[in-house]
């Protein structure tokens, strides 16, 4: 369990949204923010960055947010991802 929320991973395929959210979270919230533009980028970033919070856009190219979340849960817990559809 974390004591303090410090690192946020934010994924959105819209560059303007990514930059705006990153700027707000860093400057107003004081968070360390890493951004990604697709769900498949989230997978590597989550392993390398070890975020305390992940914020995902639902519709992204290559891999959508719900699919990336399922893979992250699988990787972290070491068992098959849930099959519930988020659509």
Q: Given pLDDT bands bounded at 50, 70 and 90, which one contains residue 1?
A: low
DSSP 82: P
Global pTM value: 0.78
Q: Given pLDDT bands bounded at 50, 70 and 90, which one contains residue 78?
A: low
Tell me the mean pLDDT in the region 64-85. Answer: 65
Instruction: State percent of the chain over pLDDT 90.
Output: 52
Domains in the chain with CATH codes: 7-77 (3.40.50.2300)
Rounded Cα distance between 35 and 23, Å, is: 11
* Residue 44 exposure: Cα atoms within 13 Å on the Cβ side: 6
């Amino acid at each position: 369990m974390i004591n303090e929320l410090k690192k946020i991973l934010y994924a959105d395929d819209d560059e303007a949204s990514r930059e705006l959210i990153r700027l707000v979270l860093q400057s107003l919230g004081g968070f360390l923010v890493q951004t990604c533009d697709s769900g498949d980028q989230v997978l590597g970033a989550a392993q390398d960055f070890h975020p305390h919070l992940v914020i995902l856009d639902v519709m992204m190219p290559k891999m959508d947010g719900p699919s990336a979340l399922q893979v992250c849960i699988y990787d972290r817990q070491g068992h098959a991802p849930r099959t519930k559809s988020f659509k």
